[in-house]
Amino acid sequence: MRWWDTIAETVEAEFSDVNDLAQLTRIIVRLLLAALLGFALGYEREHKGKAAGARTHMLVAIGSALFILVPQQSAMTPDGLTRVIQGLLAGVGFLCAGSILKAGRDETQVTGLTTAAGLWTTAAIGLACGLGREVTAVISTVLALVVLALVPHFTRAVEMTIGAPKAPSNAPPNTPDDRD
């Protein structure tokens, strides 16, 4: 056997983790759906001028789907999958914590909480895609978009009806549009 034959066989073996067209299609569908749903959430945030936009949300969703797809392909036990999910959530939690900023001494001057929660939700949606729970992922994305887009309007309407919540005397004015 020639050395280039050895190299060719090694490269072929390295790319043999997908055995059939059905498995390849499943991987593509799950990763593309994760990217699409991450884009939907990220675009909404980007459109509102938030730092974590479409690309960040897409990468979080794709990464989450990938972190669950690979162990599934490796026939990992359910026990092992739960450890992967725990690690994924801890890692995303670390990423989310970096988006939270506290400006003053009191708890009313905190920004980035919605961004962090959105990234955490995006990771869960990507995880659902990776597990093959596409309908759950789509429903969750629609619900998250409703929360992000409609709740500020609902909050404003409620505050116009019953009044704004009381803020501490040293806190700056805070309207629904000012909050993250």
pLDDT digits (tens, 9 = 90+) for 55-108: 999 999 999 999 999 999 988 999 999 999 999 999 998 888 888 777 777 666
Q: Is residue 65 part of a domain?
A: yes
* Model confidence at 178: pLDDT above 50: no
Q: Which structural domain range is residue 82 located in?
A: 19-144
24 domain residue, yes or no: yes
pTM: 0.81
pLDDT one-digit tens code per residue, 128-175: 999 999 999 999 999 999 999 998 888 888 888 887 877 655 555 554
8 Å CB contact between 70 and 157 = no
For residue 112, being part of any structural domain is answered with: yes
Q: What letter represents residue 122's amino acid?
A: T
Examine residue 159 and state whether it is found in any structural domain, yes or no.
Answer: no
Which helix H or strand E contains 110, and what residues bound it?
A: strand 110-111
Indicate the number of domains in the chain. 1
- Domain membership of residue 70 (yes or no) is yes
| Cβ 88 vs Cβ 71: under 8 Å | no
Q: Do 32 and 136 meet the contact criterion of CB atoms below 8 Å apart? A: no
For residue 48, which amino acid is it? K
